[in-house]
Every structure is written in C-alpha cells, then in structure tokens.
Structure 1
Amino acid sequence: MNIEVYRQYCLSKNGVTESIPFSKLPDVLVFKVKGKMFTATDINTFASFSIKCNPDTIEELRAEYPAMEEPSYFSKKHWSRVVMDGSIPDELLFSWLDTSYNLVVANLPKSMRLQLENENTSI
C-alpha cells in the first residue's frame, strides 16, 4: 500500500473528511468521520499510520504483528501505530482501517450514525 491508495481508501468511506489539523505537526494528515479521527499518517514519509483498535484484542494483534506498535501520541489502550515495512498484506491493512472506522462510527451519537446511514443510502 502507498499513501495514495491509503488516502483514496479512507476517503471512499461514508462521511469521511481529511485535514492537517495540528499546527505543530504540519505533516500529519488526519482522516475523520463526523469530526472524529479514525486514522492519521505523516504525508511526507508514510512510514506508518495510526488506527483505533478494539481494546480487547489490541495486545494480541501487537504480539502477532511486530509492525503493529504502541502509538507515540495516542492512547495505547485504544490506538496502534502500523509500521509500513511491507510485512503486513494490504488486505489486512484495509481490514484494520475498516475496524478503526467502524469503532469510531459505533461511538458516534445515534443521530450522527443515522445521518451516515442516510447519506449512504442516498448515493
């Protein structure tokens, strides 16, 4: 996976926006659904990206995949940093991005989840 594939995949999800919101980190590209972040990466290096993970399985994933590490800036209980070293197949990376997106959507207020569903059916 390269940064353009990553970017297009994230933007293909319902209700997603991209931005560079951190003035002190001008190279960090963030993807949000309804204003809530589900992944971020450095646009210059794409050496890794951060994703939200299920806290019940996060330690198992880190044990199984050395390229999945504790994040530098996010909660270690809910987020992981995925190092783009080529050791993880794209299909699994896409699945992890799906999980991150779905975890964020599941925590949105019901009204926002309904908006997303309505946006999806009107396409």
Structure 2
Amino acid sequence: MNKETLDAYCRKLPGCTYDYQVDWECDRYHVGGKMFAMIGGDAKGKDILTLKCDPARADELREIYEGIIPGYHMNKTHWNSIYFDADIPHELWERLIAHAHEMVLQKLPKRVRQELSLPE
C-alpha cells in the first residue's frame, strides 16, 4: 500500500477533515473533531497507518496478520497500526479505514452529526 492511496481513501469519507501534526510528523484524519486515522512512521521510520478499531476485532486482526500491531504510540486496546508493506488485501485496507471512521462517527453527539450532515 502507499500513502497517496490511503490519503485519498481517508479524505473521501463523509465529514473527514485533515491536518498535519508537525511534532509527530504524521498526517491525521478526523471526523467531528475526533481522529480516526493517522499516517506516520514507527521508531525506525517505517511507514504505518494507525486506525481506531473495535477492541475485539483489533485483537483478532493482530492474530491473523503479521503486519498489524497494537497502535503505535496510541491506546493499544482501541488502535491498530498497519505496516504499509503488510501482506493485506487492498479491500481489507479500505474496510479497516471505513470501520475506523464509523467507530468515531457512532460516538459523535447527534448535534455534531447533524452539523456535518451525516447519518443519525
């Protein structure tokens, strides 16, 4: 996977906003002011995508795919990091990004979803 593809997919999700965190040297994607995805690197500078994830699903994914690890510099229960060179089907990357977006979207107050013209 590559950064351009991941960036484009994240940005096209409803209500997505983007910023660059200089201190962390990472690209961050939010919905309703809450982050659902981050593109950055690990301690060795190896590219990773970090995503919000349901805790039970997060553990399952880590067991199945070698390239998915507990969220790098994030809460290990609620976040997974995926190495760009992980052997993961393209469709799974998209499903995991959509899942992260939906996890955050569901937790937003109704008022915020309405302001963003997002589904109830």
- Is the CA contact 1:49–1:82 (under 8 Å) kept in the aligned structure 2? yes
Q: TM-score, normalised by structure 2?
A: 0.87
- The code of the aligned residue for 1:76 comes to K
Give 2:74's aligned residue: 74
Secondary structure at the counterpart of residue 37 of structure 2:
strand
Secondary structure at the counterpart of residue 57 of structure 1:
helix
> How far is 1:66 from its partner?
1.0
- Is the CA contact 1:2–1:46 (under 8 Å) kept in the aligned structure 2? no
- The code of the aligned residue for 1:7 comes to D
CA distance, structure 2, for counterparts of residue 72 and residue 51 of structure 1:
10
> How far is 1:114 from its partner?
2.4
Q: TM-score, normalised by structure 1?
A: 0.85
Give the number of the structure whose residues are more often strand, by fraction.
2
Distance 1:55 1:119, change over 3 A: closer
> How far is 1:119 from its partner?
5.7
CA distance, structure 2, for counterparts of residue 119 and residue 63 of structure 1:
33
Give 2:94's aligned residue: 94
CA distance, structure 2, for counterparts of residue 89 and residue 46 of structure 1:
19
CA distance, structure 2, for counterparts of residue 55 and residue 46 of structure 1:
24
Secondary structure at the counterpart of residue 101 of structure 1:
helix
Equivalenced residue count is: 116
Secondary structure at the counterpart of residue 72 of structure 2:
coil
Matches within 5 A, 1:17-56: 17-21=17-21, 23-25=22-24, 27-42=25-40, 47-56=47-56
Where in structure 1 do 4 or more consecutive aligned residues deviate above 3 Å? none
Long gaps (5+) in structure 1: none
Secondary structure at the counterpart of residue 73 of structure 2:
coil
- Is the CA contact 2:52–2:78 (under 8 Å) kept in the aligned structure 1? yes
> How far is 1:115 from its partner?
2.8
CA distance, structure 2, for counterparts of residue 50 and residue 109 of structure 1:
24
> How far is 1:24 from its partner?
2.1
CA distance, structure 2, for counterparts of residue 97 and residue 79 of structure 1:
12
